[in-house]
Amino acid sequence: SAAVQTAGSCREIFTADGKRILVAANIGGIDDLSLALQNGAEGVGLFRTEFLYMNREKMPTEEEQFRVFRQAAQMLNGKPLTIRTLDIGGDKSLPYFPLPKEANPFLGLRAIRLCLKHPALFKVQLRAILRASAFGNIRILFPMISSFGELNAAKKVLTHCKSQLDAEGSPYDRNIQTGMMIEIPSAAVLAEEFAKQVDFFSIGTNDLTQYTLAADRMNEAVSELYDPMHPAVLRLISGTITAAHRNAIPCCMCGELASDERAAATLLADGLDEFSVSPGAIADTRCHLIQALGEKR
Ligand code: PEP
Ligand code: MG
């Protein structure tokens, strides 16, 4: 069978056993999305919503976020739009929302931890995402999940927002898919159990690498130790994909490794379903994947 088949203007990629591989985009806003679509993105695997919160004076309102998410969903015209809830803290801060000073911000109050500590802030965003889901194919992605308690707490807030919208008579996608990032080693180790509680995984190799190897992704002095191809990281990745498939959920990768030519053959052999990469890397990634699939035959 052919690795490549023609479908409209964009060639879809298939494995030898006929599974379609999606090449999607990581975006930070609408401008990125335009570029991604021009470059042939088959969806959005990661919308980093923190950029809606940064470089401004005050928090974006529910209405403002809703409009951005709706526009993105409409531009995608049925293709999947994976919206990650706010991942602030770590290296990213907000001028109008002072965070406590921490000795180790990457090990501190970041992403889902911050949102769970400030449910009002979290709800504004979840309501905006849910409302936009009436206008397209939206999926929700929770970042930095390290424990079942956090996942359950996040899902509980989401359920609360859904019943609020029900009471208000606001439409949303009742079958909206909810997934989690696998970017903390504990989540990768327990992927089998997590897979039973979400609709999809997305592997964040940038954080998974830094946390597995105890090597700060921003620190030049340890950049040689920061290796997403380290066998320990690769083993966590393959275990995560296997666990996903054993539980019949798809597995995406949205970390930088997804666009790394050296990893293409391994990730395909592991069975990765979706590669989400920066808009500028889409064409090259498609080439690597097609080439890796061709060489296997
Ligand atoms: C990752 O950690 O790999 C990821 C995709 O998320 P971010 O780079 O935004 O932390
Ligand atoms: Mg991350």
Residue 206 CA, closest ligand 1 atom number: 3
Residues 6+ apart with CB under 8 A from 188: 182, 203, 208, 236, 237, 239, 240
Protein residue with its CA nearest to atom 3 in ligand 1? 204
CA of 255 to the centre of ligand 1 (A): 5
Question: Buried (b) or exposed (e) across 55-79, using 16+ Cβ within 10 A?
Answer: eeeebbebeebbebbbebbebbeeb
Q: Which 3 state secondary structure label does DSSP give 246? A: helix
ipTM of this predicted structure: 0.99
CA of 166 to the centre of ligand 1 (A): 33
Q: What is the pLDDT of residues 82-140, one digit of tens each?
A: 999 999 998 888 989 988 899 999 999 999 999 999 999 999 999 999 999 999 999 99
Q: What separation in angstroms does the CA of 236 have from each of 20, 131, 146, 199?
A: 23, 35, 14, 19
Q: Does residue 183 line the site of ligand 1, with CB under 6 A? A: yes
pTM over 0.80: yes
Tokens representing 10 are 């964009």
pLDDT, average across residues 185-213: 98
Nearest Cα residue to 49 out of 125, 153, 151: 125
Angle at 259 between CA 132 and CA 196, to 5 degrees: 55
Is residue 180 within 8 Å of residue 141, measured between CB atoms? yes
